[in-house]
Amino acid sequence: MGEHPSPGPAVAACAEAERIEELEPEAEEGLPAAPEDHWKVLFDQCDPGNTGYISTGKFRSLLESHSSKLDPHKREVLLALADSHADGQICYQDFVNLMSNKRSNSFRQAILQGNRRLSSKALLEEKGLSLSQRLIRHVAYETLPREIDRKWYYDSYTCCPPPWFMITVTLLEVAFFLYNGVSLGQFVLQVTHPRYLKNSLVYHPQLRAQAWRYLTYIFMHAGIEHLGLNVVLQLLVGVPLEMVHGATRIGLVYVAGVVAGSLAVSVADMTAPVVGSSGGVYALVSAHLANIVMNWSGMKCQFKLLRMAVALICMSMEFGRAVWLRFHPSAYPPCPHPSFVAHLGGVAVGITLGVVVLRNYEQRLQDQSLWWIFVAMYTVFVLFAIFWNIFAYTLLDLKLPPPP
């Protein structure tokens, strides 16, 4: 699925040029890694007058002499960057940065100048693609706002590993739902069955000391209507996002939304249980929609308004169902039906932490100041909710209904 025809120089150069992370020379090219004194020797050979500068023409000649050792795509990038120097000269530090692929400010500036010449052809103009290649191109345009990132993703995606996280979570949720449906003899509105909330996976405020429940409640859905909407959103939004951003980033947003959902219920709806994966699903969907809105002009996905409308309608239907169910007469009073506050916790995670994760494609999150700000905010919220769970119920003298 990940095999592509050899991309043109423009595609490869644009993709390579925008990468922020420092690449390992051994993985990127055949030219072996070397200390700076090695580059100094090469530079001095082209600068006999010891001026500290060499012409772009000499730099091109040096690249041509090493062309057999350089990856063709890397060579095209370096040639384009050499041409981008308006004064026709390259200083020693720029030379080292170009040859070693260090992402200095001067290197980034040269990249931006080179891209203006190399990014004229859009990925959508590529012809003769197979079905799998068109799918990958479609995913790139659905999730990435910049053409340079779309080209890089298209050239580098190999489907190894596949989007295993979202698929695994979805299969587990369906499996648990089918098991409960058979054991309870009920598939629609399972939550109204007298034995439903007795399951050890459901989160109950009364059982908040059992820490696994803060996560495992995602495997319990209120009924097939609840599961169906979550699975549709999970697969249509979560799988493409994982194909682009990877299981680690998407799993982080999803799990953060799940934990925020159960903790938000503990703080804002202290008597109600929680079921369903809506916290994680809403974190992903809200992050994706916010990313589209923030990068509206750059997003080239077809039917943007229609897709957003469909996603918002599905979310509204699912949230409306949750609100109705919360205030529906319980099958086992005084314990109420599950809370809807977990949805709001997921949205909060999506439009903060999730937006940063999706915005910084192929960039290290630990280098982003905004990332650390939202991580700190999320950590403060989690710590606050933990202390709230430990002390608030006693201090408020809250009388919780017994679990079913």
Q: Which residues are catalytic?
A: 278, 343
The owner of tokens 């082209």 is: 46
β-bridge mates for residue 91, sequence order:
53
Alpha-carbon distance 80 to 88, whole Å?
Answer: 13
Contacts of 395 (CB under 8 A, 6+ apart): none
Residue 237 structure tokens: 């939004």
Contacts of 153 (CB under 8 A, 6+ apart): 15, 136, 139, 140, 144, 244, 361
Contacts of 116 (CB under 8 A, 6+ apart): none
- Residue 114 φ/ψ, nearest 5 degrees: -65, -35
- Residue 276 φ/ψ, nearest 5 degrees: 95, 160
SS3 state of residue 308: helix
Taking the alpha carbons of 306, 308, 311, 312 in that order, is the dihedral positive or negative? negative
- Residue 53 φ/ψ, nearest 5 degrees: -135, 150
SS3 state of residue 92: helix
The owner of tokens 């600068």 is: 47
